[in-house]
Structures are given as structure tokens and as C-alpha cells.
Amino acid sequence: IQKAEWRSLTIAVKTLKEPIRHATDEIEELLREIAIWKTLRHPNIVMFLGASSRPDMGLMLLMEYMPSGSLQQYLTTRLKINARESWKIALDISSAMAFLHSCSPPVIHGDLQPENILFNSFGDAKIGDFGLSKYVRATPPSSGSAQKHVRYLAPEILLWMSVSLKSDVYAFGMILLDLFTKGPKHSDYLKVAKGSAKIPVDDCKNSYAKEVVLKCIEADIKKRASFVDIVNDIEVFNNREKCTIV
């Protein structure tokens, strides 16, 4: 990602990976993804501003600049858990996802993970990279980063490569667990997918967060919560906390 100036705005620029510059099918698929992204307007979704092409650079994606880093960086560098801040981030993410899933047709993110959740200068969390991560130029992932990515993949994706709205819900549940624990712990996620191992949900000491996490990571897809339910649960909890403080 590069920082740039465009029409008096500070923006972020992402460049395509080298191998697909001349791959017609992949470029057409990318353009379809862009066509979806440019129509999405929500306060918790990174705004897509346009695309540009140069012979020496290839296709570049122009988007809202997010100066305060990613949720991945937040999880890595924080010293302690701030429950109020964690709920704020969770509400930002779930509100954006509820919006995406309410579109007609619904928009599946498909790659919801801390690296794709970014913060603006006000501390608002916003979701980016709608299926675009495989197109953006990057260094090959290390085994550690690949393991972190797998953590957010629902069992049905790991076992059958089946992606749905509820796969996004599962990913959110794992992110919420990260927010209320001291960061992700590596597990054998294939064993988790097969039911022979469990996610360490008991590491979450916030009982209400744990309850929401369990609703999100149900093995039975039909039993998983919707993002509308999740937003409602978080807002109910926040209102209850405000009443308690008063």
C-alpha cells in the first residue's frame, strides 16, 4: 500500500500483483469485484475512490487512506484489554457486515480478518479488501501469517471450500474472540473443522462476549447468528452498561 495525493486528498494506492496484469480472466473478475465495491457506501467500509493504470505500474486501486493501521497491528501491540474499546470495534465491524449482507444481492466479504480491518484518525474501524486480497501485490506469506489467516476460515471453507454469508459470521466470531483475549492462539484448525478439537473460547473472560462468540462459531451453519442479531446483541449490551454506569 502506498500513500499518495489525489485531487487534494490523501489516499491509499494498491497495485496489482505482477502475474495477473495480462491474465484476462482474472482481470475481468477483479473488475467485477471493483464494480461491487464502488457502489458500497457505509461509515464503516473503506471507500473505493477509483482505479488508474500506468504502463510501468499496471492497474492501481485508489481508496480512502486509513492512517491508524490495521486491527492486526492493534492486536499485536496492545498491552491490555479495554472492553469498551473492544465493543466499539466489534460494533463498527458488525454494522458494516450487516449492511453488506442486507444488500440486494447480499455481498459476501469472504476474507474477513484483522489485516483487512483498518482504522481512521478518529479510531473508527472500517472494512476493506472485498475479495481483492489475492490480486494485490504482496510478498509471499510466511507460515505464521498463513496460520493466522486460516484461523478466520469457517469449517465449511476448510473442508469443502464452501463460502456463504455465515462464513463471514464465523470469521467475525474469531475476531471478537481475539478482541477479548490476549490475542490469537494457534490451534490445528483443520481438527477444529472436523470436530476433533475445539476453539479455546474459555480464554474469553468477558461472559457476554463469550456468548456472542459461541453464537458466531456454531459448527452448524444454520444455527449461527446473523449480523443483524449480532449488532442488536452488542447494542443491547452497550445500553445495559450505560444504565449500570448511570
Report mean pLDDT in 10-residue bins for the chain, 246 residues.
Answer: 85 73 68 82 93 76 93 89 92 97 90 95 91 44 54 90 92 96 71 78 93 96 97 90 58
Q: Any bridge partners for residue 118, and if so which?
A: 70, 126
156: amino acid identity, one letter: E
> Which residues are within 8 A (CB) of 171 and not within 5 positions of it... i.e. 6 or more apart?
109, 112, 113, 152, 153, 154
Can you tell me the distance from the alpha carbon of 67 to that of 93, in angstroms, rounded to the nearest whole number? 18
Can you tell me the distance from the alpha carbon of 149 to that of 165, in angstroms, rounded to the nearest whole number? 18
Task: Name the grid cell of 235.
Answer: 447494542
Half-sphere exposure of 234 (CA within 13 A, CB side): 24
Please report the pLDDT score of residue 72 as a whole number. 93
Distance between start and end Cα atoms, the chain: 44
CATH entry 1.10.510.10 includes domain 71-245: yes
Can you tell me the distance from the alpha carbon of 151 to that of 178, in angstroms, rounded to the nearest whole number? 11
Please report the pLDDT score of residue 232 as a whole number. 96
> Which residues are within 8 A (CB) of 201 and not within 5 positions of it... i.e. 6 or more apart?
177, 210, 213, 214, 217
Please report the pLDDT score of residue 153 as a whole number. 92
**Beta strand segments in the chain, E:** 2-6, 9-15, 48-54, 58-64, 117-119, 125-127
Hey, which residues are catalytic here?
A: 111
Can you tell me the distance from the alpha carbon of 25 to that of 212, in angstroms, rounded to the nearest whole number? 40
Please report the pLDDT score of residue 197 as a whole number. 74
Query: Does the CA dihedral 80-81-82-85 come out positive or negative?
Result: positive
CATH entry 3.30.200.20 includes domain 2-64: yes
Can you tell me the distance from the alpha carbon of 220 to that of 166, in angstroms, rounded to the nearest whole number? 10
Instruction: Answer whether the bond into residue 105 is a cis peptide, omega within 30°.
Output: yes
Domain boundaries, given as residue ranges, for the chain: 2-64, 71-245
Place of cell 487534494: 8
3-state secondary structure of 5: strand
